[in-house]
Amino acid sequence: MGSSSILASLPFAIGIVMFGLGLSLTLDDFRRVGQYPKAAVVALLCQIVLLPAICFGLVLAFGLAPALAVGMLLVAASPGGPTANLFSHLFGGNVALNVTLTAINSVLAVVALPIVVNLSAGFLLPDGAALGLQFDKIMQVFTMVVVPVALGMLVRGRAPELARRLNLPVRVLSVVVLVGVIYAVLYAERENLVGYFVSVGLAALVFNVVSLLIGYGVPRLAGVEHRAATAAGFEIGIHNTGLAITVALSPTLLNSAEIAIPGAVYGIVMFFTATGFGWLISRRRGSRADQPGLSVQEPA
């Protein structure tokens, strides 16, 4: 992979990303779930229950190698993030709901990630017990995820002007970190790269498309209005792959470049699919608005 110092810095790097997320959050973002109860509950159930189950079925259907299968499930258990908020803003989603879902998902990930990793590793890997996230490793995930978010929120609450000034630089740095960890994974596995892309590329693409469709479609079937469903679609379809890759690569967590490969592939694929998804639902929405007698206003 380069050097041990790069590996050791990965938790710090994801800490920067989560700190940047915290700079955009307030306690009201957690309280706001009461304003969108149906959308929030449906989206969270899709994220926590439905996606891992579907991903598990897909990795079995595609016959992925055990480590790659665990990597896919690690992606499925990872929360959304600022990128989901950006896509939601660009394509007319309810960004406030996105921020709320990201805040809650980031906290729930501390529980969801270890459960999914332990169950999938125990079922799929011969030495799964050795790779699972035990209590001490769960505390490291907690430190990587919740503590930086809380610090970011604290800075925003106590020094809003400083938070405003830090927001853009930290966002840029977060993108650099994401690109850097993806590059690190691809470089580490460069000799097997073509084979990995052939093995996991189609599975990652299918899972990403299915995630976007479920994230939008299930809330719509439940009666959630278009903008909130759009927010849920991006929140569920766009994962924090930087977190998934860091958990996979960190020497004190899973310490496996192969498990990190699906996160790197998904992190590349999701930008293209999310753009196409946003264009399609915007176009469909626009065509409905143009039809005589139809209004874009929908009940919440």
Instruction: Check residue 143 and give its pLDDT.
Output: 77
Instruction: Check residue 3 and give its pLDDT.
Output: 43
Kindly give, in sequence order, each residue whose CB lies less than 8 Å from that of residue 110, ignoring residues fewer than 6 positions away: 138, 141, 142, 145, 146
Instruction: Check residue 237 and give its pLDDT.
Output: 92
Answer whether 144's CB lies under 8 Å from 246's CB.
yes
Where are any strands of DSSP class E within 195-290?
Answer: none
Answer whether 11's CB lies under 8 Å from 246's CB.
yes
Answer whether 58's CB lies under 8 Å from 48's CB.
no
Share of the chain above pLDDT 90, in %: 24
Is residue 131 very low, low, confident or very high in pLDDT (cuts 50, 70, 90)?
A: low
Structure tokens at 221: 């079937």
Give me the mean pLDDT over the 100-116 stretch. 83
Answer whether 234's CB lies under 8 Å from 98's CB.
yes
Residue bearing the bigger pLDDT, 76 or 297: 76
Instruction: Check residue 116 and give its pLDDT.
Output: 86
Instruction: Give the helix/strand (H/E) hosting 151.
Output: helix 135-158
Q: Examine the pLDDT at 110 and tell me if it is beyond 60.
A: yes
Give me the mean pLDDT over the 110-138 stretch. 75
Query: 184: closest CA among 260, 270, 78?
Result: 260
Q: Which domains does the chain have, with CATH numbers?
A: 4-284 (1.20.1530.20)
Query: 207: closest CA among 89, 86, 59?
Result: 59
Q: Examine the pLDDT at 128 and tell me if it is beyond 60.
A: no
For residues 289 and 241, give the distance between their C-alpha atoms in angstroms, rounded to a whole number. Answer: 35
* Stated pTM of the model: 0.79
Q: Examine the pLDDT at 213 and tell me if it is beyond 80.
A: yes
